[in-house]
Amino acid sequence: MTQIRLHVNNQAINAISPISIAELVALNQLGSEGTAIACNNTIISKQEWATTYLKDNDSLDVFTLVAGG
């Protein structure tokens, strides 16, 4: 159990390792419906969320569909 620092949408947050993307999403209520996540600019598909563990200084981008033209 070590504390790691993550950057989620350019916002720094602390988390306790080991932590998977799925766990992070649940903890922070990032939602999964219509959501896509890229870790260090690589898209991680939903099936891989549970098995992808985050490292210190990982940068996550969480996207969702919003109103737009």
Partner 1 sequence: MLTLADQTFSSRLLTGTGKFSNVATMRQAVEASQSAIVTLAMKRVAAESQQDSTLKALKALGVTLLPNTSGAKTAEEAVFAAELAYEAIGSHWIKLEIHPDQRYLLPDPIETLKAASMLVKKGFKVLPYCGADPVLCKRLEDVGCAAVMPLGAPIGSNQGLQTKPFLEIIVEQARIPVIVDAGIGKPSEAMAAMELGVDAVLVNTAIATARNPVAMAQAFASAVETGRQAFEAGLGATHRTAHASSPLTAFLESTT
Toward partner 1, which CB reaches closer, 9 or 17?
9
Toward partner 1, which CB reaches closer, 1 or 33?
33
Toward partner 1, which CB reaches closer, 17 or 28?
28
**What 3-state DSSP class applies to 46?**
helix
**What 3-state DSSP class applies to 26?**
helix
Q: How far is the CB of 49 from partner 1 (least distance, A)?
A: 11
Q: How far is the CB of 22 from partner 1 (least distance, A)?
A: 14
Query: How many whole angstroms separate alpha carbon 32 and alpha carbon 15?
Result: 20
Residues that bind partner 1 (CB under 8 A): 8-11, 13, 28-31, 33-38, 41, 43, 45-46, 61-69
Phi, psi of 38 (to 5 degrees): -120, 135
Query: How many whole angstroms separate alpha carbon 52 and alpha carbon 69?
Result: 34
